[in-house]
Amino acid sequence: MSARIAVLASGRGSNLQALLDAIGAGRLDARIAGVFSDRPDAAALDRVEPALRWSADARTFPDRAAFDAELARAVAACAPDWVFCAGYMRILGEAFVRRFEGRLLNVHPSLLPRYKGLHTHARALRAGDAEHGASVHFVVPELDSGAVVAQVRIPVLPGDTADTLAERLLPQEHRLVAAVMALAASGRLAERHGQVQLDGQTLFRPLRLDSAGVLHPDSRD
C-alpha cells in the first residue's frame, strides 16, 4: 500500500506541491493523508481537497504546548506513516516530536549543520560561502539538529543576493524533498539512535542529490 504522508506547512506550500507532483508522476508511491497548518489562511491548504485540511491559529491557544497537543491529535488521526514539515515555521515542542519520533522529517534551506534557524541565504552570503544548499533531516527537539538524510548543493554566484540565491535554490529543494520522501515511502529510510539508516545500513554522511535527481552517497574527500 502507498505510504501515508502528513504535511505540516505555514506558507504557500511549494514543497507540498513538489510532493503532489511526484505522486502524480509516479515517482513517489504515497498519498497525502492530511495538510496541517498553524495559519488558517496558509495557501498550502488550498493545494489539497477540503477533507484533507486542518488548521488552527496558534495565537488563540494559551501556550505552545496546548497548540502542539491539538495538532498532534489531528495528525495522529490521519494515521500517517511519515510526517513532513514543508515550510512549517513554528518550532515543534518535545512532546510532539517524541510522539512521531523516527518518522518526522523537515526540509531546511542550508547545508546543515551550517545556519540553523532563519535567514540562511543572507548568512551564507555574509560568510562568503562558495556553495549553498538545502538539507532534509529527522526532527529532534533541538532546532534543526536532527540527523541529516540528504542534501543538494548549488554554487554561490558573483552578484548573488539573498533573494536570487533563494530563487535558484528552491527548485533544487523541491527535487530533494521528492527524492527523500520516495526513499521514506518505499521503506528504505529509518533513524536509529540519532543516525540515519538506508536499507538497514548506517549513513555516516548525508546522501547527495545529483543533477538527474538521484540520491547518491557523498564521495567527496
Q: Write the CA distances from 167 to 40, 112, 125, 172, 198, integer angstroms.
A: 26, 19, 14, 10, 30
Q: Active site residue: 108, 121, 137, 174, which one? A: 108
Does 215 count as an annotated binding residue?
Answer: no
108 is catalytic: yes
Whether 187 has a binding-site annotation, put simply, is no
64 is in an annotated binding site: yes
Q: Tell me the C-alpha distance between 184 and 186, whole Å.
A: 5
Question: Is 110 one of the annotated binding-site residues?
Answer: no
Rounded Cα–Cα distance for residues 73 and 190 (Å): 23
User: Is residue 91 annotated as involved in ligand binding?
Assistant: yes
Q: Is 13 annotated as a binding residue?
A: yes
Instruction: Give the HSE-up count for residue 157: Cα atoms under 13 Å, Cβ half-sphere.
Output: 11
| Dihedral sign computed on CA atoms, order 26, 207, 123, 8 | positive
Quote the cell numbers at residue 140.
529532534
Q: Is 154 annotated as a binding residue?
A: no
What residues form the annotated binding site for (6R)-10-formyltetrahydrofolate? Answer: 64, 89-92, 106
Catalytic site positions: 108
What residues form the annotated binding site? Answer: 13-15, 64, 89-92, 106
